[in-house]
């Protein structure tokens, strides 16, 4: 008799928890769909850093010309570095507090979500440094 009651309780608990999802990023056809982006070509050095990285979030330093392209899109002061991911790295995961990322969408190219791009000093403030 106890097993059926336990099973019912587990199913009820699962039905309450199941709809809860991490917020993640909006994605359409494998690309970021949460707002305006800048498509940016990586240098050979940046591509090598990303390719050699065994974990998501490879850190690259932006060139001066890349920073100017970001600022031309309305970012007052471009970051000096980005962390590179595949958009699928965040599937089913929380995207809270994620800033200054580039999503690799094809070899040598990233899309930078402008709404979550900020200067180094703003990033330091956000991180509480």
Q: Write down the pLDDT at residue 128.
A: 61
Strand partners for 103: 85, 111
Per-residue pLDDT, 23: 67
Residue 40: C-alpha distances to residues 21, 31, 45 (Å): 31, 14, 14
Give the integer Cα–Cα distance in Å for 115 and 13.
Answer: 36
* Spans of the chain below 70 pLDDT: 1-23, 127-129
pLDDT at 3: 53
Write the DSSP symbol of residue 3: H
| Residues 68 and 80 sit within 8 Å (Cβ to Cβ) | no
């Amino acid at each position: 008799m106890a097993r059926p009651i336990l099973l019912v309780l587990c199913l009820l608990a699962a039905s309450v928890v199941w709809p809860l999802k991490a917020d993640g990023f909006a994605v359409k056809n494998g690309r970021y769909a949460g707002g305006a982006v800048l498509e940016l070509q990586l240098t050979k050095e940046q591509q090598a850093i990303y390719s050699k990285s065994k974990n998501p979030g490879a850190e690259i330093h932006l060139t001066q010309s890349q920073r100017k392209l970001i600022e031309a899109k309305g970012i007052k002061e471009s970051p000096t570095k980005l962390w590179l991911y595949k958009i699928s790295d965040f599937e089913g995961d929380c995207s809270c507090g994620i800033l200054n990322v580039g999503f690799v969408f094809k070899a040598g190219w990233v899309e930078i979500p402008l709404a979550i791009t900020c200067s180094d000093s703003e990033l330091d403030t956000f991180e509480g440094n």
